[in-house]
Amino acid sequence: MMENKQYIDVLNKIGKILEDADDLLNKSKDLNELDIRFKVFAGKKGQLTEILRKIHSYAEEEKRIIGSKSNEIKKKIEEIYKNRRNELADIKQKKDINTCRVDLTIPGNYIEKPHKHPITAVLEDVVDFFSYMGFEVVSGPEIETAHYNFDALNIPADHPARDMWDTFYLLNGLIPRTHTSSVQARIMEEKSPPFRVIAPGRCYRYEAVDATHLFMFNQMEGLFVDKHVRLTDLKGILEEAVRYLLGAKKIRFRPAFYPFVEPGLDLDIRCIFCGGKGCSVCKDTGWIEVIPCGMVHPNVFKYAGIDPSEYRGFAFGMGFDRIVMLKYNINDLRLLYQGNLDVLNQF
């Protein structure tokens, strides 16, 4: 008698599951709510599944009827679920279409005007200035041979001057160029004098990264070769360059040694951070080195097949990362390469 009552109760419970499912599934407000309610009734851990798990406790005939009734109810619930899902999908699609409609009477959102990266902006200023001075823009490979990076610039294998550059060496014997002066050596082989060229590009050195040094930096080589080029031509052009680019008023040239020029010079400007009083940036000298330069060494001409008794020239190397630092009063080079828009938007 007890078993018969349990059997009747479970049949009534199956019928009640269908009523509840029909009511709640059709009242679901969105697809997420619909899926959750469907699982309550017909999911792997749903009410119908719980009934079927206990079906072994009934007589054979009762098992058959309970199983058949449960499968019938499950199909009806799945049909209700499918119909309601289609209804909600249609409602969502219409809502999305209405949301995407453009009201042309609404004022548009302001789009902030983009600006150039400081390095790009300064590079273009440098190129504009020297192009106005009659210089042609040229380029060369960033991965160089030791010949063009050193030998052709009067820096042979046993020359102590090679210790001035910390060089990366690749397994194939090539090197990421340590300076754009390698382009100078190539151009003198390719072109017949007279010519004026500038060669902007990236360079690489094995250096510890800090506020003023990076292992990759931007440099621009300049080269002017003609029959009557003088040191005063070099000084005049570079003085105008730093005045144009940095607004420098106090400028000086001092002797320096570079294997590929003779005589060699450094162009310094009065420190813009301390006004010449001395600070950590200028190392308490009051001056900041901006452009290493000098007259092309006769040996460099000989390597390129140019007669040094007939032609003369000058060369200079401008690190325009440093020009950016000076122009925008930046005390840490790393700020330029971090991609931080809060920083870059200030320039």
SS3 225: strand
Cβ contact 294:266 at 8 Å: no
Residues designated catalytic:
165, 179, 205, 219, 261, 315
DSSP 235-293: HHHHHHHHHHHH----EEEEEE--TTEEEEEEEEEE-TTTTTS--TTTTTSSEEEEEEE
Q: How far is CA 89 from CA 35, 75, 76, 82, in A?
A: 13, 21, 20, 11
Parallel/antiparallel/unpaired status of strands 261-270 and 251-256: antiparallel
Strands (E), the chain: 136-137, 143-144, 175-176, 195-204, 216-226, 251-256, 261-270, 287-296, 312-318
Output the CA torsion 209→211→212→218 (10° steps): 70
